[in-house]
Structures are given as C-alpha cells and as structure tokens.
C-alpha cells in the first residue's frame, strides 16, 4: 500500500509529540497554585511549544496542499472515508486555531510572546481585560475538542490495524 | 538680646521669607488622577510586562519659569498594583515581593529639578530624588519631559531601578534570569487645567 511522503510522516509525528507536550504542560501549569518560578517557566515553554506547532502546521499544510495523501483501501466503506476526511480536516483546523487562540489570549493578558526568550513576536492587540476571559474559554474548549478528536483518531487507527487489518496505519508509521 | 539669638532670628526670618517666595512662584498643581498613570515595566524570561499602580497621589509644585523651585512627590498605594490577574495581584503583595502589610506605600520625593542642557526651554528636565519602596530608600535620577496640553501640563518620565536593591523578589525570586533586576517605573501625570 502506498505510504505518505517522508516529510509528511516526519511532520505528523513531530507535531503530535509537540502537541502532547504542550497539552500536558498546559494542564500542569494552570494547576500550580499561586506564583512560582516553575509556573512562569512552564507558561513560557508552553507558549514556545505552541508557536513551534503553529509554524510546523503552516509547513505541513503547504506540503499537504502540494502532495496528495495516499488513497484509502478500496474496500473501506464510503462513510468511513468521509468520516476520516472530516476528522483530518478538523485536526488541521485545530492545530492552527489552538496556538492562535493561545497567542491572542496571552496578548490580551498583556504578556507578549518572546520565542525561546530571544525573539519578540508581533503584538497584534493591546492588553484587553474583557477579551481575556473569552479567549481563555475559547482556548480551553478548542483543546477539549482536540482531545476528543485525538481519541477518535487513535481509535480509528487501531481499528484499521487490529480489526480491519488493512494497512492504513502503516502509511504513516515512521 | 544676645548676638546669637539675634542671628538665629534673622536666619529664621530669612528662611521663612525664602520659602514664602518660592511657594508664591510655584503653586501646587492639581493632578488629574483619571488621566494620570504610574506603572512598572519588568521582564520575566525576557518578556516585557507592564503593570499599573491604580492608586497613587502626586503633589507637584512646578512653574516652568522657575524650575529650580519645583518640587514633586508621589505616594503609591502598593495594594493597587494590577498585573491583570486577581491571583497574581494577591501573590505580589506577599512578603517576598512588596510585603504590603508592612510597607503599604511607596513614595518618591524630588531633591532637585534642573532644566536639561540642550533641550528647548521648559520641555526637558533632569530630576533627582529619593525613592522608597518596601522600606528601602535609594537615590534615583531620571529625565522628565513636560508639555502643555491646553490648560494642563503633562509630565512624562521613566525611572530605571533595580528591584533587588529594594528587596523586591526574595528567596527563589532573587534569580534575575526569571525576573530581570532592571525595572522601569513609568509615569504619565496630567494636571487639571
């Protein structure tokens, strides 16, 4: 069965790992009470991870638009193919929407992002106490949506591998 | 009357006359607190963050015709420091930061205000004074810009300080890699017309 191209495979796993790291760090940091140096560090690292995901997502979208994905097995039901396309579409939207919502949440909170502590990134909006709680909520729920989509994505991959045994998972394995 | 007491009374009279003269030249200005701001700009992991002191009182005696007689003082209510997050606002009032329970106010008193060399008259001044935060007093110098806006005067300035010389951020917060030692106190004071 035809596989994804090497760069597509690399970008898939790299982004997956970075998202898992950013997601766990995000949950950890918001549960640290008060104000500690560790908390501030985690917030910065979380933002750097998010910005990295966004940059890689841009690369990945460009690559995907110029390189077709391998076709699904002929025996795969139509509805499942449509569902797979829809879920992949949603995942693509989220890997952009989540870092962007987080970035603007940080700006609204009056904390610009300095990538790796070295490169100040553009400030598009002024601190905004009204927008801040709204963006926080948006960032949170987009992440919960991602968690649900991620679970479906993994379950579907496992179903293809162990129930359908149709080699769909192999297309993306490193 | 002894010579000594005579001298003393002459001296006292002279001082009174001088202070009367200076207060007649430089009358205290009314500060429009709604338009004025005092904030601190600090860097955490190289990220510049600006936080406002929402409550402060400024006393300014200033007459551009006689800047040498000018005097300025600011009292800042430490508990009004706003980082934009209720939880953080509570944290910074604790002992290792501002210790607001023991030191509720920060204050600045000018000791000299001189017209800056080379600038058009009445626009720029060099200010020296004493800044007290968390019970520690340090000498500070900063440039002051003054402009007229209708009937009001607008004073702008930025005072560079080192937070550790005021013990702001003790214990694990002494690490200047986390929060830089250099902090700028920015003010924008507008007087009522």
ipTM of the complex: 0.82
Q: Which of A110, A117, A129 sits opposite B45 (nearest CB)?
A: A117
Query: Within a domain: residue A44?
Result: yes
Domains in chain B (CATH in brackets) are 27-190 (2.40.128.110)
The side-by-side arrangement of strands in the sheet containing B105-115 is: B28-29, B56-61, B71-77, B105-115, B124-133, B136-149, B152-162, B182-190, B37-44, B47-53, B81-82
The three-state secondary structure class of B139 is: strand
Contact A44 B175 (CB under 8 A): no
What is residue B6's predicted lDDT score, i.e. its pLDDT? Answer: 54
Question: What's the CA angle centered on A18, arms A14 and A23, to 5 degrees?
Answer: 150
Inter-chain touch A37–B85, beta carbons under 8 Å? no
The count of domains in chain A is 1
How many whole angstroms separate alpha carbon A76 and alpha carbon B25?
Answer: 92
pLDDT at B25: 45
Write the residue in A35, A41, A118 that is nearest to B91 by C-beta: A35
Residue B108's region, left for phi above 0, alpha for psi from -120 to 50, else beta, is: beta
With respect to residue A19, please indicate whether it lies within any of the assigned structural domains.
Answer: yes
Q: Does residue A89 surpass a pLDDT of 90?
A: yes
**Half-sphere exposure at residue B120, Cβ-oriented, CA atoms within 13 angstroms:** 4
User: What pLDDT is recorded for position B29?
Assistant: 86
Question: Measured between CB atoms, does A123 come within 8 Å of chain B?
Answer: no
Confidence bin at B11 (pLDDT 50/70/90): low
Q: Cβ of B178 and A37 within 8 Å?
A: yes
Q: pTM higher than 0.90 for the full model?
A: no
Q: Given an 8 Å threshold on Cβ–Cβ distance, is A132 in contact with B84?
A: yes
Domain assignment present for residue A1? The answer is no
Q: Which domain holds residue A37?
A: 6-171
A43 inside domain: yes
* Average of per-residue pLDDT across B145-164: 94
What pLDDT score does B67 carry?
79
Q: What is the pLDDT of residues B12-62, one digit of tens each?
A: 555 444 444 444 444 688 899 899 999 999 999 999 999 999 999 999 988
Percent of chain B with pLDDT over 70: 86
A36 chain-B contacts, CB cut-off 8 A: 172
Please write the tens of the pLDDT for every residue from B55-103.
Answer: 999 999 888 788 788 899 999 999 999 999 999 999 999 999 999 999 9
């Amino acid at each position: 069965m035809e596989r994804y191209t090497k760069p597509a495979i690399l970008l898939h796993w790299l982004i997956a790992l970075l998202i898992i790291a950013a997601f766990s760090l995000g949950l950890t940091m918001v549960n640290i009470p008060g104000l500690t140096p560790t908390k501030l560090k985690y917030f910065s690292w979380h933002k750097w991870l998010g910005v990295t995901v966004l940059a890689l997502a841009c690369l990945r979208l460009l690559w995907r638009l110029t390189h077709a994905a391998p076709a699904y097995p002929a025996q795969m039901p139509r509805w499942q193919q449509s569902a797979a396309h829809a879920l992949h579409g949603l995942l693509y939207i989220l890997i952009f929407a989540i870092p962007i919502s987080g970035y603007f949440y940080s700006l609204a909170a009056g904390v610009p992002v300095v990538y790796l502590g070295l490169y100040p990134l553009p400030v598009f909006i002024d601190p905004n106490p009204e927008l801040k709680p709204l963006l926080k909520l948006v960032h949170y729920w987009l992440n919960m949506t991602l968690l649900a989509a991620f679970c479906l994505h993994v379950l579907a991959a496992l179903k293809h591998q162990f129930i359908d045994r149709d080699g769909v998972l192999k297309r993306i394995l490193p | 009357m002894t010579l000594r007491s005579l001298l003393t009374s002459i001296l006292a009279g002279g001082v009174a006359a001088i202070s009367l003269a200076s207060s007649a030249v430089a009358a205290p200005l009314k500060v429009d607190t709604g338009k004025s701001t005092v904030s601190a700009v600090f860097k955490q992991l190289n990220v510049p963050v600006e936080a406002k002191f929402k409550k402060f009182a400024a006393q300014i005696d200033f007459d551009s015709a006689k800047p040498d007689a000018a005097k300025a003082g600011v009292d800042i209510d430490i508990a009004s420091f706003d980082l934009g997050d209720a939880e953080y606002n509570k944290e910074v009032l604790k002992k290792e930061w501002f210790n607001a329970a023991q030191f509720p106010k920060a204050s600045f008193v000018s000791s000299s205000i001189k017209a800056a060399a080379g600038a058009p008259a009445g626009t720029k001044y060099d200010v020296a004074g004493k800044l007290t935060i968390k019970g520690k007093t340090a000498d500070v110098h900063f440039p002051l810009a003054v402009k007229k806006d209708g009937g009001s005067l607008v004073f702008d300035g930025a005072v560079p300080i080192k937070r550790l010389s005021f013990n702001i951020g003790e214990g694990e917060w002494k690490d200047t890699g986390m929060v830089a030692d250099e902090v700028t106190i920015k003010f924008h004071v507008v007087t009522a017309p």
